[in-house]
Structure 1
């Protein structure tokens, strides 16, 4: 009896290790291990008894789930394909939850994972991330928040010093201006006294001369009545040195434009810089700089149409237009310094700091001599035409060019509408290098254009505008970039003159959009220069070394000077 009870207890202990089916026979020994759970009836069921259980009461829907899912703390979603069944699995291949029926049909042989286990993994990741936020980022940014107050205080103090420096500098400028005004007023007073003395002396000379000729007139009148032959024969007309009359034109003080007064006194107003501090968050914030365009002055040129301009960098600007006259103007006051009439139909003009001036028609390049004449220095080969000029300052290393001679002149040559190339000349004005094709033997430039504009950047890049695009190659002729404009305007991109500034930026005139495209050295667009909307049909541009660009308007014949930052 005791052995039987022992055997019975042992079997019962083993039965408690697993959950048994609640639908099987009431005899404990005949109950099978439960495989699923009916969430509706709260019943554990083995596989063979599922149908029997569902048929036992078909008045409501039985929610059958895997046994371990019955005790989970997540709400399993309904299967979109089998609305009466819960999704207990997750298909890793299709990245969707599925039920057991889906596993045997559409997702057969797909790698799956139980949703409950997946949720456990996800919760572990969430817990790990939360722990990282609490232990790392939150303390770190608490420190940042605390330091920001100190930064604000330091920034306020720095700006107070900055404003105080401006005020101190202003007082210094006031003293300097007062001193200059006193000096110039004294100079003006001296000039006034000197000129007054000249006029006083002139009045005295006139009075003396008038007295002399009156005296002579009286003597002549007596002589007229004389009967003495000897006196009459001895008469000779006196030679008189009449005083040279002078007119003094007093000076007129010419005021600088306000923008130039400000920049000449204070220079360039510095902007603060926003940078990402080392060791702080690595995300980047793009800060667009404020665009400042100031049209400082406008000069009307005596051309019906302007064609090309070239700055001498020394307050001078050479110009050519519809008349065959080359003019040098003073960029400050617009006065014409020199005028050279030529028999050529000029196409382009270029110069450099030493004022070597080159001009060209469609066949020949001329260089200005020390006077006001042009000497022929280069002729294009037969069937070729000269389209644009630029002076180069880049030296090609001896490893790249046999002679190592510094380049002197660049030009664009075309052969009808068939070929187009850039030719580099040496100081001896003989062709040294030619750039026509890229590495794939494709044309760099569009030969089917009539107008070209040429400039060299400070890094040696050669920039060619052909009225449809800007093409940039390096100093060895390797293709760098082709710029087709920005598509933010309705007007077509119509590039014309091109120039570069002392920072290596490229400035490209846009004839139709009435603006200038400012590009960086890598031919990336920076912004537009619009001159406050005052520009009209820009044909050419030329930079000085002071953050300024001279702009030629084709139809108005105006030269405008724009200060940009």
Structure 2
């Protein structure tokens, strides 16, 4: 065994192995004895900061400014999402921006790292292991069932003797073929889960390393993969075939010998939500007592309707006209796209691959913008598309009304293929009103959330289309009738919807409980909503043409 890795060994100099090094370089994360200090400090390619070993980690390692390379960045601009030095502050680029001590940002980031680590280590990783452990059980059941089928076929074959030998051989072959087709699905999922477990374990190790580091550059560039890992792999729901013996009829030997039901494989999503009681020391992000405006984007046009995040720095917007605009957070117009038909776009979304999709209710189409080309992916007959969103699995959810406005439904598409239609509850009653203004969003637990203006309600169903709850406003309120328009969800599973005529936002938890209003940010006819990966809320004001970026969590 290498003595440097012995559990009984003491700390050593990282250069020469001398025990109990008295010094530590905070910038290089290196333990040093006195003899090795000189050589270490002569490495002028790096910054160094020597401290007594017991004081290691006490020196902030500020990053160098990208514009003024010799200056250290000790301030962070929240609007531009960038660290800045004292010379940057003297320019006009960050005038009137929200500037904070970079160490407070790192402290917030460290808390986020700790939450990610705890959720991965205590909940997500064990859940993956649990799912993986079920695969061998399914394999055993598959083998056992195949043997059971073979035995039943043999028993029936003894009755039928030679004249049915050919039938027996064919059915055995079918069983073997089913098993050979079924097994790759299980093997494939096992391999994918094993790979994900490996990535999670690697992420856990990296997070632990970051939490022990004081390297501001490394920590500030951390990008969380927690949302990716929260999406648990689908559970294979196997419908195993059965063998059904029949009475002998010599005129119909093939049919009378027995029917082997076809095998089938479907997927059942686990869904994943972390309850506060489960999280222990890693609760949901608390809400601010007073939400605050971080920045305001003044667009070129009024009658602003929908917004969707292209990235944390750029926002797509659509208006009551044929043009859709992409703005950055500095209020600069980056790109404009005209609808294919020249009609008004009603709603917009960004797919997992980063493409813009929009609904054209006059043309009854859903269209996707790829670079400079616009393709029609869905063309409806007898239905008009309204709200649209892209799901965590890459599907499109479209809420639509019939031409006669007597029916409404939500349809899930993969590409141009319809996969699911959601229209009625368990009692056969319509889930949605027959009005035209509806918007849609998928929550992190895969619930489907629809804001239904005519019904004055938010209707939430689970991924199978079963009604979970209907929200019609808080139990007691002095405000006017609830008028929901835009709707979105955040990384904590909260549901946010714009109450356009009450000039406020409602925040609900994922079970439909009212949490609070955002009514202190001088909102005027809020219509469209979206959140970025940092859970900053973007609110589109219909009449002013403004998009306000709001922080509502701590």
TM-score (norm 2): 0.50
Cα distance change on mapping 1:485 and 1:543 into 2, 3 Å: same
Structure with higher strand content: 2
- 1:194-247 Cα deviation digits (max 9, x unpaired): xxxxxxxxxxxxxxxxxxxxxxxxxxxxxxxxxxxxxxxxxxxxxxxxxxxxxx
Contact 2:65-2:71 at 8 Å conserved across structures: no
User: d(CA) in 2 for partners of 1:493 and 1:421?
Assistant: 21
Q: What is the Cα deviation at residue 380 of structure 1?
A: 0.9
The equivalent residue for 2:487 is: 498
Q: What is the Cα deviation at residue 340 of structure 1?
A: 1.3
Equivalent position SS for 1:533: coil
Task: Tell me which of 52, 65, 71 is aligned to 1:180.
Answer: 65
- 1:149-172 Cα deviation digits (max 9, x unpaired): xxxxxxxxxxxxxxxxxxx99995
Task: Tell me which of 445, 448, 451 is aligned to 2:437.
Answer: 451
Task: Tell me which of 304, 307, 311 is aligned to 1:306.
Answer: 304
The equivalent residue for 2:50 is: none
Equivalent position SS for 2:62: helix
Q: Does 1:513 align with 2:502?
A: yes
The equivalent residue for 2:376 is: 376
Q: Which has the higher contact order (CA 8 A, sep 6+)?
A: 2
Equivalent pairs, count: 302
Q: Does 1:410 align with 2:397?
A: yes
Cα distance change on mapping 1:169 and 1:527 into 2, 3 Å: farther
Q: Does 1:557 align with 2:545?
A: yes
Deviates more, 1:262-271 or 1:458-467: 262-271
Contact 1:259-1:296 at 8 Å conserved across structures: no
The equivalent residue for 1:202 is: none
Equivalent position SS for 1:323: coil
User: d(CA) in 2 for partners of 1:474 and 1:510?
Assistant: 23
Q: Does 1:267 align with 2:108?
A: yes
**Residue correspondence of structure 1 range 381-460 to structure 2 within 5 A:** 381=381, 383-394=382-393, 408-415=395-402, 416-427=404-415, 429-447=416-434, 449-460=435-446
Cα distance change on mapping 1:261 and 1:540 into 2, 3 Å: farther
Structure 2 residue runs of 5 or longer lacking an equivalent are 1-54, 73-90, 113-275, 278-285
**Residue correspondence of structure 1 range 15-94 to structure 2 within 5 A:** none
The equivalent residue for 1:339 is: 336
**Residue correspondence of structure 1 range 154-553 to structure 2 within 5 A:** 176=62, 179-180=64-65, 183-184=68-69, 253-255=93-95, 257-258=97-98, 264=105, 266-267=107-108, 291-331=289-329, 333-342=330-339, 343-362=342-361, 363-369=364-370, 371-381=371-381, 383-394=382-393, 408-415=395-402, 416-427=404-415, 429-447=416-434, 449-467=435-453, 468-486=456-474, 487-530=476-519, 532-553=520-541
Equivalent position SS for 2:316: strand
Equivalent position SS for 1:564: strand
User: d(CA) in 2 for partners of 1:316 and 1:365?
Assistant: 22
Cα distance change on mapping 1:553 and 1:182 into 2, 3 Å: closer
Q: What is the Cα deviation at residue 292 of structure 1?
A: 3.6
Structure 1 residue runs of 5 or longer lacking an equivalent are 1-167, 188-250, 277-287, 395-406
Q: What is the Cα deviation at residue 417 of structure 1?
A: 2.0
Q: What is the Cα deviation at residue 489 of structure 1?
A: 2.5
Q: What is the Cα deviation at residue 268 of structure 1?
A: 6.8
Equivalent position SS for 2:65: helix
Q: What is the Cα deviation at residue 373 of structure 1?
A: 2.6
User: d(CA) in 1 for partners of 2:515 and 2:546?
Assistant: 26
Q: What is the Cα deviation at residue 260 of structure 1?
A: 6.5
TM-score (norm 1): 0.49
Cα distance change on mapping 1:418 and 1:299 into 2, 3 Å: same
User: d(CA) in 1 for partners of 2:457 and 2:486?
Assistant: 11
- 1:21-68 Cα deviation digits (max 9, x unpaired): xxxxxxxxxxxxxxxxxxxxxxxxxxxxxxxxxxxxxxxxxxxxxxxx
Q: What is the Cα deviation at residue 252 of structure 1?
A: 5.2
Contact 1:423-1:434 at 8 Å conserved across structures: yes
